[in-house]
Amino acid sequence: MFPCTVVFLVNIELSLILILVTGCSLYLEITFIFLWFCIISFPLCFFKFLCRFLPIGNSKIVRWMVHIFFERRKTHL
């Protein structure tokens, strides 16, 4: 798995490519980057943090939450 900073930088690069291709305004682009970070990058990094650094990371509940999160992401993409 990639570190959180790499995931966030890739998201920014993808959105910058989007602005070049579609010609969106800068305001829309900043909004898109912010929403992309809030919806995908932050929850992903938060779950990874829970699983690695907190004692509850090994619990079945956290593993189940991570599994549900990834399954929902796959079905919506």
Annotated domain spans of the chain: 4-76
Whole-model pTM: value is 0.30
Which amino acid would we find at residue 51?
C
pLDDT(59) > 50: yes
Answer for the pair 40, 11: CB distance below 8 angstroms, yes or no. yes
Query: pLDDT per residue over 24-58, tens digit each?
Result: 666 666 776 677 666 666 666 666 666 666 555 45
Task: Round to whole Å and give the CA distance between 54 and 20.
Answer: 41
Phi-psi region of 23 (alpha: psi -120 to 50; beta: other; left: phi over 0): left
Residues 2-21: pLDDT tens digits?
A: 455 566 666 667 767 766 66
Token readout for 48 is 């990874």
Give the pLDDT confidence score for residue 53 in this predicted structure.
Answer: 62
Residues in the chain: 77
User: Which pLDDT does position 31 carry in this prediction?
Assistant: 72
Q: State the Cα–Cα distance between residues 19 and 27, nearest whole angstrom.
A: 11
Give the per-residue pLDDT at 77: 47
